[in-house]
Chains A and B, each alone.
Chain A
Amino acid sequence: MAHITVEDERYQFTPQLKKKVYYLLGAGIVLFILGLVLAMTGGGHHEDAGGHAALSVSKEMVASLQDHASAPHAEDGGEHHGSSAWLKRTWAALWTNNMYFVGLAIIGLFFVAVQYAAQAGWSAGILRVPLAMAQWLPIAGILTLILWFLVRHDVFHWTHADLYVENGAGFDEIINGKAPYFFWPLAAGSFPLFYILRMVLFFGLWYWFLIQIRKNMLAEDLDPSTSYWFRNRSLSAWFLVFFAVSSSVAAWDWIMSIDTHWFSTMFGWYVFSSWWVTGLAFITLIVANLKSAGYLKIVNANHLHDLGKFVFAFSIFWTYIWFGQFLLIYYANIPEETVYFIERMRTSPYAWIFYANLILNFVLPFLLFMTRDSKRHLSTLKLVCPIVLIGHWFDFYNMVTPAVMQEQGGVGFLEIGATLIFLAAFFLVMFNTLARMPLIGRNHPMLEESLHHHI
């Protein structure tokens, strides 16, 4: 057996790559501004005639559902959707991307925690990649908080105070019933203290866990003691318990509450599975690219195989959750629930995304990653992982935008530009973090096992 020595590796964030990332950022900003201008000038006139029949059906249905006491079509004319379409579309694009990249960051930490809690050896050599991804977490937290206050009235219907005024024109009995979940302990319709506290608590604790786990990982590099590993194992276990609850609640808060009337008991899992498979595809893609660039010498086809299996398996898991949510709503056919899919399947700007979602996130990874060889070769990994990453971007797009924009949404320069800006910023943070620490945790007690990993 060939003997491999673990050399210290340090990642170099080369000026060439940095330049590329800045080009990406520049392209994003240009496209974003171009999209803004287009949306401001041509706003709302791009739906094709074919979609109108279906649109009116869904509109009627949405209206009849939201029309609980008095004001019919209060949605369309009143102060609720006061902002112009281009602004709402901008907020939706930013919120979609923010949620997507929050996912990449928290999955970085989740991946590390899962490896420690499961006492996994195979991954010992690649843990620095998800650790660097998680470094987006504090920025994601601040962005989420700031963005939330910017987008709230346009994205989160429940933030409008008149929904909670009994006997008022805008009173909504269903949303009023959910008021304590948002506003406790304050009065319904005032400041959503409970909601904001949860947001701060989740990001705060997630970041605290990240700091602790990273501190132990980096201390281990200087001091070959197994105590850091044991400390990280128990930290990870506690984090996983907290994440199990907080990821679900975060999904209700930040995404499901956009469709305030609607609820799905599977939604927490749905968002988690989408985040998880996105994160796995991203980790795999970065590891594959680092490997191609000559880094991560201890990673061989067996490690890539495991990462590929992760992406393959959790693409199927996501589909299972997706279908579990869809089938029950489809079969029960309760209008309050079905409206969610009417908005997405039968509304012209989103119908193609609804089906593309399944093709990109299930059919393609399922077929392309089925064979053993496809998971062991860099070329196929680099082909399938971007498909999954793009597919799940559309997944988040379709969770957020239809409820915000109704039939006026679209995917254009605005959305692409916002995504590129987020991606470039994420890359800058991730690669800078990666360059600041050793790429291999040389004293990880399972590194030897990772070297001999064979499947």
Chain B
Amino acid sequence: MNADKHFILGVFNDEDVLMDAVKKVRGSGVRIHEVFTPFPVHGLDEALGYRRTRLPIAAFLFGLTGTTLALVMQIWMLGYDWPMIIGGKNFASLPPFIPVTFELTVLLSALGMVATFLIVSDMKPYKWPRQFDVRSTDDKHVIAIDLAVNRGKSKDDLARLLREAGAEEVNEKNFED
């Protein structure tokens, strides 16, 4: 058995108990791998100490790429490669290029964000998600603790901690892959 994929799970029924449990577990120095909830729980990301996503920075850079690409493409095409007289304007004039520039900025920024999000969230194509507890898609909240990163604590300690924090049941979960 590979210890890297060995988890201990606390199953909770109520999101208020869950929130307190998350604070309690983290307060005792245990690192939580992930919490699975059937619906968004307000304040959970803060309780888990997640840093704010840097996705907006990626979006800005993708957008900037789109802007540059669109302007270079249009100026090269209509200004140099195949100049055409349209409405008596200059070959490379800015105003008519703005709509395409805008669209490409939005397009690249959106597609880039989706791609970045899928990659950083580990949702690449052909990647099967680990199903910790199928009930977390229905009515239960699940705290998953990775045993490998909490070597200071024994399995029993962690189970006791979760139970004291209000877990309905505590399970172990191994992933073979």
Contacts and interface: CB of A to CB of B under 8 A. Distances in A.
B96 A331 contact: yes
A454 interface: yes
Interface of A: 323, 326-327, 330-333, 370-372, 454
Given A327-B98, A333-B87, 6 more contacts: A327-B95, A331-B87, A333-B88, A370-B56, A371-B56, A372-B56
Contact of A323 (B60, B87, B89, B98): B98
A332 to B, nearest CB: 8
B95 A330 contact: yes
A429 B89 CA distance: 50
Contact of A370 (B60, B95, B98): B60
20 contacts: A323-B98, A326-B95, A327-B95, A327-B96, A327-B98, A327-B99, A330-B95, A330-B96, A331-B87, A331-B89, A331-B95, A331-B96, A332-B87, A333-B87, A370-B56, A370-B60, A371-B56, A372-B52, A372-B56, A454-B42
A327 B89 CA distance: 12
B65 to A, nearest CB: 16
Contacts of A323: 95, 98
A371 B89 CA distance: 37
A371 B59 CA distance: 11
Main SS at interface, chain A: helix
Contacts of A327: 95-96, 98-99
A338 to B, nearest CB: 12
A372 B59 CA distance: 13
Nearest to A320: B102
A282 to B, nearest CB: 27
Interface residues of B, number: 11
Contacts of A326: 95
Contacts of B52: 372
Residue in A326, A330, A372, A454 with the greatest tally of chain B CB atoms within 10 Å: A330
A308 to B, nearest CB: 14
Contacts of B56: 370-372
A268 to B, nearest CB: 22
* Most-contacted residue by chain A among B52, B56, B95 (CB, 10 A): B95
A367 B52 CA distance: 20
Contacts of A454: 42
Contacts of B98: 323, 327
A327 B56 CA distance: 30
Interface string B81-97: 00000011100000110
A371 B60 CA distance: 10
B95 to A, nearest CB: 5
Contacts of A333: 87-88
Contacts of B87: 331-333
Interface in B42-101: 42, 52, 56, 60, 87-89, 95-96, 98-99
A61 B60 CA distance: 43
A372 B89 CA distance: 40
A35 B59 CA distance: 48
A323 B97 CA distance: 12
A340 to B, nearest CB: 15
B36 to A, nearest CB: 22
B69 to A, nearest CB: 19
Contacts of B96: 327, 330-331
A331 B90 CA distance: 11
B72 to A, nearest CB: 20
B27 to A, nearest CB: 18
A55 B133 CA distance: 76
A371 B52 CA distance: 12
A175 to B, nearest CB: 29
A80 to B, nearest CB: 33
B138 to A, nearest CB: 27
Nearest to A372: B56
Nearest to A333: B87
Interface in B18-59: 42, 52, 56
Contacts of A370: 56, 60
A371 B99 CA distance: 24
A393 B47 CA distance: 46
Contacts of A332: 87
A454 B56 CA distance: 19
Nearest to A371: B56
A326 B60 CA distance: 26
A370 B56 CA distance: 9
Nearest to A326: B95
**A-B pairs with the 4 shortest C-beta distances?**
A330-B95, A327-B95, A331-B87, A333-B87
B108 to A, nearest CB: 16
A371 B56 CA distance: 8
Contacts of A372: 52, 56
